[in-house]
A and B are shown apart, each in its own frame.
Chain A
Amino acid sequence: MSELPLATRLFVKAYRWRRVDPVPWASLRRPLREAKIALVSTAGLVLPGQEPFDDDLKGGDWSFREVPSDADVHTMRDTHRSGSFDHSGVQADPNLAFPLDRLRELVAEGTIGSVNQRHFSMMGSITLPQRLCEESAPAVASMLEADGVDAVLLIPI
């Protein structure tokens, strides 16, 4: 916290964060080495041909982009316009926030069983999360459920 700019620290204190209550809990159905894993990242990355995320939407862009498991991560483009973080890392290596190559390596080394057929890229700067909670999060959750995913790794930026 101490390394954040004062304005950001004040925002963290003052903002009325949505509180998950009760905390839901699910258990892994099979050992991790047999599990199918999916990614959800809110770094605002898009594949070539996909619509960039829209920073002008009031309250934040709650939409999502599907990323197939055979996508080339290095072609992903950073469309997150937030000035509150350094973009150089994710622009140099999108795996920093969308580690599809790392998941493939974990399959090869036997840590996880498989990589789901699709993953989801979203935007994080959502100050009004109602449509995220009512529309896009349930839609993404339903697709992951339909895919028979065993566990999901979520990554902010």
Chain B
Amino acid sequence: MCNQAVGLIAAEIERRGIPTVCIALLREVVEKVRPPRALAVPFAHGFPLGAPGDAELQRRVVREALGMVEGASAGERPVIGEFDGN
């Protein structure tokens, strides 16, 4: 349900002209709801940025997600990226 909520909020923000990116715990839900950009992460529910206390891993996920708003604007939408942990 969380994946739907962030997707719907993201769409509303994006309609105002502000680019957004969602972390996606369930890629299947993101494909159905279709927020503009999402980074699918291989983590369990409850752990959207990886692990508690692991600042480096959390920073890597946040950096990669925010990098998506700087990416190319042409092509297929929504844009769904994959965080592979490396």
Chain A interface (Cβ within 8 Å of chain B)? Answer: 1, 3, 12, 17-21, 23-28, 31-32, 35, 37, 40, 42-43, 60, 84-90, 92-93, 95-97, 99, 101-103, 105-106, 111-112, 122-127, 129, 132-133, 136-138, 140-142, 144-145, 149-157
Contacts and interface: CB of A to CB of B under 8 A. Distances in A.
A96 B35 contact: no
Given A18-B8, A140-B9, A23 B36 contact: yes
B1 A99 contact: no
B47 A1 contact: no
Interface of B: 1-26, 28-29, 32-36, 44-53, 55, 58-59, 62-63, 65-67, 69-70, 73, 77-78
Nearest to B14: A24
A95 B55 CA distance: 8
Contact of A129 (B4, B25, B47): B4
A65 to B, nearest CB: 14
Given A1-B28, A137-B12, A152-B13, A37 B66 contact: yes
11 contacts: A17-B32, A18-B8, A23-B36, A85-B46, A89-B51, A111-B63, A129-B5, A133-B8, A140-B12, A154-B35, A157-B2
Contacts of B24: 156
Q: Which 9 A-B pairs have CB atoms at the shortest separation, nearest pair first?
A: A124-B2, A156-B2, A93-B52, A85-B46, A85-B45, A154-B6, A137-B12, A17-B32, A24-B14
Nearest to A109: B59
Contacts of B11: 20, 23-24
